[in-house]
Amino acid sequence: MSAGKRILYIEDNFDNRMLVRRLLEHEGFLVLEAENAHQALDLLESNTPDLILMDINMPEIDGYTLTRQIKSTSSTSQIPIIALTANVMRGDKERTLRAGCDGYIEKPIDIDTFIEQIYQYLNGKGSKQL
């Protein structure tokens, strides 16, 4: 089910990148990583991942801005983007969805349900309901 599926994780924190990579690769996903918006946009010029996991709090260009940019570019607008963030207030969740994110996973991630959530979003069963 995960075979050949590529997931791009955009995250400035090294430890978070390592944890998520380990979980996703263990499940058989191919993981692309970017530690800032510039790296992410470079990667997206030559790769079309099946899903993007988006950190929100990043230096320089934050996840809201980057999400808007990806969603307003025709070659990348169809890629589902899931916010992965420690901003867990209700207003923050709404803000990620308004920026164009297709879903939301709270940090710290729950390693027991993380993969299940990934499959839901890959299968288009994530919802924008709050």
- Helix segments in 52-129, DSSP class H: 63-71, 90-99, 114-122
- As a whole number of angstroms, the distance between CA 101 and CA 127 comes to 10
> Residue 57, interface with Mn ion (CB under 5 A)?
yes
> Residue 102, interface with Mn ion (CB under 5 A)?
no
Q: Tell me the chain's radius of gyration from C-alpha atoms.
A: 13
> Residue 12, interface with Mn ion (CB under 5 A)?
yes
CB of 65: closest distance to Mn ion in angstroms?
13
Find the farthest-apart pair of alpha carbons in the chain and give their distance in angstroms, rounded: 36
* Piece of 9-17, 30-38, 70-78, 99-107 that binds Mn ion (CB under 5 A): 9-17
* Piece of 43-51, 52-60, 65-73, 74-82 that binds Mn ion (CB under 5 A): 52-60
